[in-house]
Structure 1
Amino acid sequence: MVEQLSRREGDCFLLTPNRSMSWKGNIRIWLAAFILSMLISTGMLLVGAWPVLPFAGLELTALAAGFYYTSRKCQKREVLTFSQELIRLEKGLTHKEKEWELPRQYTRVWQDVPRHPWTPPKLHLQFRGEEISLAPFLNIDDTEELVAILEKKGLRVEKRRRPEKLWF
């Protein structure tokens, strides 16, 4: 998701992954699965199939861990700020963890052309041999929107094909 913010330093864009559901929504889905699983497990327990109960608990634990992991990964944020002379990129989850300041004039933008049409292209900022991944979590439409913003800001987005990798 690409969202424009207003800041004094210059044009600023917040880049975040798309989130289909909030944390409360995830909890509701897990509680519904918990209730259904416990009803079935209790019925199985009453007819003498007690080994079902620990496996139901393991299943619910794995489901909760998956919800937590996915929800945590969807909290990534990148803030891209354009000033007169600099491009600032800030990355983090709940707070700023990494920051780069790149001179606008000498920074290159690379777009890796995907091998499959359903795969979103990956963007990279490059300055003096350092290559920084730019919002790898964006989908195809959001990546195209970000490319249009970068080109509107005067940066040339160069396309490249990465060498083919073996499948293993």
Structure 2
Amino acid sequence: MVEQLPSDDDAARYLLTPNRSMSWQGNVRIWMALLALSAVIVTGFTLIGAWVILPFAGLELAALAAGFYISSRQCQKQEVLVLGPDNIRLEKGMKRKEAEWEMPRQYTRLWRNEARHPFTPSKLFLQFRDEEISVGGFLNMEDTEALLAILQRYGITIQKRKKPEPRWF
């Protein structure tokens, strides 16, 4: 998602976040419903003597819980892109700012790596000197295009490049 944030000065601030289809509480509710369904099924099998199913049902639910947790944690990533008159600042983190880069706007390039497949978004990178920083790597195609339109509107030149195809030996 690309969302404009209010700003006190003459800089434009944008919050970049991955799309979240469900909150953490929603994920827990789904897991609890699956737990209840699994408990009913496991109870039935246990009553007819197939008690061996118990540990496998437990492992399955533990793996599902781990998948929900990892997925929800990855959806907490966020980036704040600040486009000032002289500088571009990018802040990355989960619940707080964990990394920050500030680059002079005049000497910073935005590279757009073309997608290898028509259903995947292009990858964006800010480059200043020898350092390349990924911008919005978690954005979907529509959000990537929206971000590109915003950056063009602010006069940032976007340069395209193709990544070399991977070699299989």
Aligned to 1:141: 142
Q: Report the Cα distance in structure 2 between the residues aligned to 1:8 and 1:132, rounded to whole angstroms.
A: 26
Alignment partner, residue 157 of structure 1: 158
Q: Which amino acid aligns with 2:132?
A: E
Distance 1:20 1:45 in 2: 36
Aligned position for 1:5: 5
Distance 2:47 2:149 in 1: 62
**What does residue 26 of structure 2 align with?**
25
**Alignment partners' CA distance in 2, 1:142 and 1:167:** 32
Q: 1:7, CA displacement in angstroms? A: 1.4
SS for the counterpart of 2:143 is helix
One-letter amino acid matched to 2:3? E
Displacement of 1:166: 2.6
What TM-score results when the alignment is normalised by the length of structure 2? 0.97
What amino acid sits opposite 1:163 in the alignment?
P
Provide the rounded CA distance (Å) in 2 between the counterparts of 1:143 and 1:167.
29
Look up the match of 1:42.
43
Cα distance in 1 between the residues matched to 2:80 and 2:168? 34
Secondary structure of 1:8's match?
coil
Corresponding residue of 2:71: 70
Deviations 1:12-37 (A, max 9, x none): 00000000001111011000100000
2 CA distance for matches of 1:15 and 1:167?
Answer: 34
Root-mean-square deviation over aligned CA pairs:
0.9
1:104 equivalent in alignment to 2:105: yes
Displacement of 1:82 in angstroms is 1.1
Partners in 2 of 1:83 and 1:124 — Cα distance? 18
Q: TM-score, normalised by structure 1?
A: 0.98
1:126 & 1:11 partners in 2: Cα distance?
Answer: 19
In structure 2, how many angstroms separate the alpha carbons of the residues matched to 1:84 and 1:70?
37
Cα distance in 2, alignment partners of residues 107 and 154 from structure 1: 12
Q: How far does the alpha carbon of each residue in 1:104-159 deviate from its partner, in whole angstroms, 9 at most, with x for none?
A: 01100000001110010000000001000001000000000000011111101111
- For residues 83 and 152 of structure 2, what CA distance do their matches in structure 1 show? 12
* Alignment gaps of 5+ in structure 2: none
Q: Give, as a single letter, the amino acid of the residue that structure 1 aligns with 2:160.
A: K
Alignment gaps of 5+ in structure 1: none
Partner SS for 2:92: strand
Amino acid at match of 1:158: Q
For residue 114 of structure 1, give the secondary structure of its aligned residue in structure 2: coil
Aligned-partner Cα distance in 2 for 1:34–1:21: 18
